[in-house]
C-alpha cells in the first residue's frame, strides 16, 4: 500500500481516536464520510438508505474502533462495516416489502376473479424449496435485483441467479399444466 499524506493522517487520527480523542474521531468522520457515503449509495441504490446505512456504520465504527489493531487497515475495515450495514438495510427493506405484499394479498379461500391465475401461481411457488422460494419472492414480489437478493441472502450473485433459474425451471411445467387444465 502506498502511504500518502491522507493515509498517514488517517492512521494518526485512528490512533488518537482509539486513545479517546473525540476531536480525532470527528476529523476521521469528516475525512471518511464522502467515501463511505459513496459506498453506501452504491450498495443500496437509495439516497435515504445510504444516509441511514452511513449513520449505522459510524455507530459501529465508533464502538469497534478500539478493537482495530492496525490503523492502516481502517479503510478496508470501515468499508466492510458499511457493506454489512447495507446488507442489513437491504434485508430489512425486503422484509418490509414482503410483509406489505402479504398484507395486501388476497386471503386464502377468497374467490379469484375469472381468468386470474394468481392463486395457482402462489400454490406453485409454495411447492418450491424454501431457498428457491425466497429468491422468487424477492425477485418477483419485491422487485429486487439479483445484486440486492445476493446481499439480502448473503450469497454470491451467481448463486442468486442460479437459484432463480432453478425456480423458473421447476415452476414452468407446474404452471403450464395448471393453466392448461383451467382453460379446458
What are the pLDDT tens digits along the chain (184 aa)?
567 888 899 999 999 999 999 999 999 999 999 999 998 998 888 899 999 999 999 999 999 999 999 999 998 899 999 989 998 888 888 777 776 666 555 445 444 444 456 777 777 887 888 888 888 877 877 677 888 788 777 889 999 999 999 999 988 887 777 666 655 5
Give the pLDDT confidence score for residue 154 in this predicted structure.
Answer: 80
Spell out the CATH class of 108-183.
mainly alpha
DSSP the chain: ----HHHHHHHHHHHHHHTT-HHHHHHHHHHHHHHHHHHHHHHH--HHHHHHHHHHHHHHHHHHGGG-S-GGGHHHHHHHHHHHHHHHHHHHHHHHHHHHHHHTSPPTTSPPPTT--HHHHHHHHHTS-HHHHHHHIIIIIS---HHHHHHHHTS-HHHHHHHHHHHHHHHHHHHHHHHHHHH-
Which CATH entry fits the domain spanning 5-94: 2.30.22.10, 3.10.180.10, 3.30.43.10, 1.10.1740.10? 1.10.1740.10
Q: Can you give the residue ranges of every domain in the chain?
A: 5-94, 108-183
pTM as predicted: 0.57
pLDDT at 70: 93
Amino acid at each position: 500500500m502506498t502511504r500518502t499524506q491522507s493515509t498517514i493522517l488517517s492512521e494518526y487520527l485512528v490512533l488518537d481516536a482509539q486513545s479517546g480523542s473525540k476531536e480525532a474521531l470527528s476529523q476521521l468522520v469528516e475525512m471518511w464520510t464522502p467515501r463511505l457515503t459513496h459506498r453506501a449509495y452504491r450498495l443500496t441504490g437509495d439516497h435515504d438508505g445510504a444516509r441511514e446505512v452511513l449513520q449505522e456504520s459510524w455507530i459501529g465504527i465508533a464502538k469497534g474502533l478500539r478493537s482495530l489493531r492496525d490503523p492502516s487497515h481502517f479503510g478496508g475495515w470501515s468499508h466492510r462495516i458499511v457493506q454489512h450495514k447495507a446488507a442489513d438495510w437491504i434485508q430489512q427493506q425486503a422484509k418490509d416489502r414482503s410483509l406489505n405484499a402479504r398484507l395486501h394479498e388476497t386471503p386464502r379461500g377468497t374467490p379469484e376473479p375469472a381468468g386470474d391465475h394468481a392463486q395457482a401461481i402462489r400454490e406453485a411457488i409454495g411447492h418450491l424449496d424454501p431457498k428457491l422460494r425466497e429468491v422468487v419472492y424477492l425477485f418477483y414480489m419485491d422487485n429486487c435485483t439479483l445484486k440486492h437478493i445476493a446481499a439480502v441472502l448473503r450469497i454470491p450473485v451467481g448463486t442468486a441467479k442460479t437459484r432463480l433459474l432453478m425456480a423458473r425451471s421447476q415452476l414452468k411445467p407446474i404452471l403450464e399444466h395448471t393453466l392448461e387444465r383451467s382453460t379446458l
